[in-house]
Amino acid sequence: MGGPHTIQRLLLGMKQYDASDLHIKAGLPPTFRVGGLLRAVDGPPLSGDDCDHFLDPIIPVRLRPRFEESGDLDFATFNEIGDRFRVNLFRAGGHMNAAIRRVKGEIPTYKSLHLPPVYDRLVTETNEGLILVVGVTGSGKSSTLAAMIEHINHIRAEHVITIEDPVEYQFKPKLSIISQREIGIDVPDYKAALRYLVRQDPDVVFIGEMRDHDTVLAAIQAAETGHLVFGSMHTADTMQSMSRILEFFPQDEHGFIRSALANTLKAVCAQRLLPAMEGFESSAVPATEVLLSSPIMKEKIRDGQEEDLPAIINQSTEEGMRSFTQSLTELVEKEWVRKAVAMDYAPNRNALESSLKGVEVRTQTLVNRIRG
């Protein structure tokens, strides 16, 4: 990008370069994240004074005092072509820094996100209980959850309430009524939003982030009373999700929480974004791990044997249950990601190597049969 950089030009540039994120930091040029990799734009580094005022055109005036007081601020903004952006401001080194996530104006589908068929079936067939979408920052959780909510919007006439910080995708009612509540604008915090949730007659609830005791407990209670609840967590995989939930509660309540989860948890969908093969239609594709409700899963959670969950996923014959190793094998087999990239993201490199060799053997056997 030539010429002087402005925040508006950089936001437009994110679409041009298919960048997922933009970083503004004193001492460095503005930096895009493309295909999972950081790439600085051409130009001089931004000074501390530059950074302190660079985002002034997009910061809501009413929210500026909050940043000055706390040194952190989340908000959403949009540009003239319909793209929305999730903006996180944070003070570092005495100056304003920013991490900006691009949220495309069009709500994604499972197909556009390259998610496996189990996501479609899971949402179509589930009317109550708790569905978690988990992953580290930047793993595509928000896009996946938006696809799930939009799926319900197309197939069921229900009342959907979302609690988000900030609102990212804006849903337009189709069959469903969708009430989107933004923290800091519509309601002061998650606790206040959740306090009277069931009085608002929801069928489906989306909690943008299950981050503490109150949000987790509210999600479980809503699921126990017959609602379908979607939530996200910043954990790497299914087993970590169980551990994180328990961390929010004192030891003497773990038995109750395990029992409640065993009864209400319908699925944990974990994902990681991998750089896609050059020339692929997207710059990144998800590797997924899916734990589905089953009698053995319920038993392990109720008995506090969460460490057995990965083995259940690996050994399950239930349609849709899948491990990261199985998912990575598929991505390499389809030539969506390079083998070296898959190895870098593999939770167990030896297991992935063994799985890929199995694919090679089956492929060669098929070739031999065709030739014979």
Lookup: tokens for 181 = 């509540």
Measured in degrees and rounded to the nearest 5, phi and psi for residue 315 equal -95, -10
In the chain, CATH 3.40.50.300 sits at 110-322
pTM: 0.81
266 Cβ contact partners less than 8 Å away, ≥ 6 residues apart? 122, 126, 129, 130, 131, 292, 293
Count Cβ atoms within 10 A of the Cβ of residue 209 and give its class: 0-12 exposed, 13-18 middle, 19 or more buried. Answer: middle
Strands 159-164 and 37-40: unpaired
pLDDT at 366: 47
Torsion of Cα atoms, 110 then 176 then 123 then 121, to 10°: -70
Q: Three-state DSSP class for 132?
A: strand
Measuring CA to CA, which residue among 98, 86, 84, 80 is closest to residue 30?
A: 98
Which CATH number, 3.40.605.10, 3.40.50.300, 3.30.450.90, 3.40.640.10, labels domain 7-103? 3.30.450.90
Q: Which residues make beta-bridge pairs with 100?
A: 22, 87
Task: Give CA torsion, residues 267, 270, 276, 281, to 10 deg.
Answer: 40
- Contact residues for 34 (Cβ-Cβ < 8 A; gap 6+): 17, 18, 19, 20, 283
Distances (CA, A) of 86 to 6, 72, 260, 273, 347: 17, 13, 33, 18, 29
3-class SS of residue 276: coil
CB 102 within 8 A of CB 77: no
108 token code pair: 């994604």
Q: String of b and e for 159-183 (b: at least 16 CB within 10 Å)? A: ebbbbbbbbbbebeeeebbbebbbb
The whole-angstrom separation of Cα 292 and Cα 241 is 14
Query: Alpha-carbon distance 294 to 19, whole Å?
Result: 39
Query: For each of the chain's 372 residues, which pLDDT tens digit applies?
Result: 444 579 999 999 998 888 989 999 999 999 999 878 899 999 899 999 999 999 999 999 988 999 999 999 988 888 877 788 989 999 999 999 999 988 877 899 999 999 999 999 999 999 999 999 999 988 999 999 999 999 999 999 999 999 998 788 889 999 999 999 988 778 988 989 998 898 899 999 999 999 999 999 999 999 999 999 999 999 999 999 999 999 999 999 999 999 999 999 999 999 999 999 999 998 899 999 999 999 999 999 999 999 999 999 988 877 899 999 999 999 999 999 999 999 999 999 999 999 998 765 555 454 445 555
At 362 the pLDDT is 52
- CATH 3.30.450.90 positions along the chain are 7-103
CATH architecture type of domain 110-322:
3-Layer(aba) Sandwich (3.40)
Q: Are 211 and 190 in contact (CB under 8 A)?
A: yes
Task: State residue 371's pLDDT score.
Answer: 54
Interatomic CA distance for residues 166 and 245, integer angstroms: 22
Phi first, then psi: what are they for 71, rounded to 5°?
Answer: 80, 5
**233 in Cβ contact with 256 (< 8 Å):** no
- Which has the closest alpha carbon to 284: 103, 116, 112, 40? 112
Report the distance separating Cα 333 and Cα 263, nearest Å: 37
